[in-house]
Structure formats: C-alpha cells, structure tokens
Amino acid sequence: MAGAADLLGPKADRAFGLKLVAPAMIILIVLLALPTLLTLVYSLHDVPASGSSFGPFVGLENFTIIFSSPVFWRSAQVTLTFSVGFVILSTVIGLAMAMLLNQRFIGRGLARALLIIPWATPWLVIGILWKWFADGSVGGLNAVLMMLGLTSDYHPFLSDPNTALPITVLAAVWRQASFAGILLLAGLQTLPEELNEAAQLDGANWWQRFSNITLPWLRPVLITVTVFNVIYAFLQFDVVFAMTQGGPGDTTQVLSILIYRQLFVNTNIGLGSALAVILGVVALIGGLTIVRLFYRREMH
C-alpha cells in the first residue's frame, strides 16, 4: 500500500471529489458524530430532567449505579437470550429458505416474491401483527394449534412469563430470516452449477456438497448477514415495544426498552445515556467478534 497516493488522481480531481462528498460529510458529522459525543458527555453527568444543561459532572457514577443494579443485569440477560435466539434462528431459517428457493420447482417466482414480504414489513407492524397472532383470546396461533389437536384451549402466550420471550424472538425472526434469505439466495445464484455437478459425479453426497461447496461459497454473505443480525438483535426495540413493552414483569425487557424507560419515562438523561453507551459498545463488540470469528476460521 506504499503507492496509495498514486491511486489518487490529479489535484483538481481530488478537490472535485471532496466538494461532492462535503455536504454528506457535514451532515453526518453534525447529525451523528456530534450527538454521539453529546451522549458520551451526558453519560458522565447528572443531567437535569429538562435537559437544558449538562448538570454536575459525576464521573463514572452513572456506570457504577448501572453495574450494581440487578434490573440492568436482568435486562442484559434478557437481551443476550433474545439475541442468541434471534441470530441463530434468523441465519439458519434464512439459509434453509434460500437453499429451498434455489431449487427448481413450479411457482418458484411467486415463492421468491413471498420471501420479500416480511422484509418489506415495518418492524413495528410485525410486532403488532404477532402480538395479535399470539393473542390468548382471538389469536390465530392458538386456532392452528387447536385445529391440529395440539392444545385443547387457548393459551395467553404473551402474558405467560415462560412463552413471552420465545414468541417475541419468533416474531422478530419472521422478518429477519427473510432478509437473510434474500441475501443468501442471491449468493447461491452466483454458485457455478458445475461445481456441484462435478462433486456429484465424484460420488459426494448431499451433506458433503453442502459443507464443502455451498457453505464455503456463502461465507462472505454469511458474515454480512450474521453481522447485520447481531446488530439488529442488540438494537431491537419496535417488536418488543409493540408486543409486550417489556412485560410480563421484566421477562422481555431488553436493554433498548430499559433505555427508553430511563430517558422518557423516568427522564433520567444521564443514566439513560450511560445505558445507551453500554448498548452501543456491546453491539460494536458483538459485530466485531463475529467478523473476527469467521476470519480466524478461514485462516485454518
């Protein structure tokens, strides 16, 4: 990379490039860098509810309060459970759907159009839809279970502390698996058919072809999809807000819901900002870990 400067064009070209990028750069600095910095500053202060001043500097006191609070640790645990379920299920179901829709069958075009619908649906709408779908008195999920003879009566999934979290995970997965499926299907379509045919002639069975050809081919797409899934998992707000608002009790209170409550219900801006900083750092670490994990395996 010693000659990186050589890749740049003449001075006038560089100046023109900078002029084209300048508006976007200024907007992003003002709207992203500045608020991020302000949130960091807020997190170190005891900000008054009005937010009109920073209030007294308290150092890391907000973080100390958070880390010694059982509410935070309970919420962190819920976020982790939600995220692990969400990431694994979204990726696996997405991969299964992509592999299925890459086969030849009648109606494939229509099936591929169907795959897009959950992805095009707003997160909040997915929350509302699944809240009622899983409802204990008029829900469709109960109707299906009853018709299949699996249950004899309706079950209030979202007010039962044991089933509330799994159902919210399922609702979020319904959307995100489609996103993963769309990207992975596009990746599969670029896989040269000759590779699989040659392997088949050599007597490789389905599993051998899947693990030795398909999965390695999809690795870059899988990394992207998984990183997206991790970020969406940690930052999920809409679905949980629409379905349970964190309840029953605190069984579905993910960190983003806790931040919302701190900032806008308890109007504790300092504490809420400190929580937001923690969430941001966790999402960042989560995303980077996935990237590192995949690339390290590649080296072996």
Partner 1 sequence: MASSAFERGRRRSLATSVAIYLGVLVFAIWILLPVWYLVVSSLITPSQLGVKPFPLVPSSVTLDNYAAVLFGNTGGKGIGSTDMGTRLVPTIGQSLLVSSILVVLNLCIAGAAAYGLSRYPFRGARVFELSVIATRIVPAIAIIGPFFVAFRVIGVLNTPWALVISYNVFTLPLAIMILKNYFDQLPREIEEAAKIDGATRLQTLWIIIVPIARPGLVAAGVLIFLEAWSEFFYALVLTNQLTVPPLLAGFQSVQQFNWNALAAATVMSMLPPTVLVLIFQRHVVGALTAGVGK
Amino acid at 278: I
C-beta closer to partner 1: residue 71 or 124: 124
Nearest approach in angstroms of CB 231 to partner 1 is 6
Nearest approach in angstroms of CB 8 to partner 1 is 6
C-beta closer to partner 1: residue 165 or 188: 188
C-beta closer to partner 1: residue 74 or 154: 154
C-beta closer to partner 1: residue 66 or 101: 101
Collect all residues with Cβ–Cβ distance below 8 Å to 145 and sequence separation of at least 6.
151, 155
C-beta closer to partner 1: residue 72 or 119: 119
Nearest approach in angstroms of CB 55 to partner 1 is 12
C-beta closer to partner 1: residue 71 or 143: 143
Collect all residues with Cβ–Cβ distance below 8 Å to 243 and sequence separation of at least 6.
127, 130, 131, 134, 158, 164, 167, 168, 171, 252
Distance CA 90, CA 71 (A): 28
Nearest approach in angstroms of CB 279 to partner 1 is 5
Nearest approach in angstroms of CB 145 to partner 1 is 9
Amino acid at 230: V
C-beta closer to partner 1: residue 19 or 296: 19
Nearest approach in angstroms of CB 250 to partner 1 is 18
Nearest approach in angstroms of CB 107 to partner 1 is 7
C-beta closer to partner 1: residue 40 or 65: 40
Nearest approach in angstroms of CB 300 to partner 1 is 19
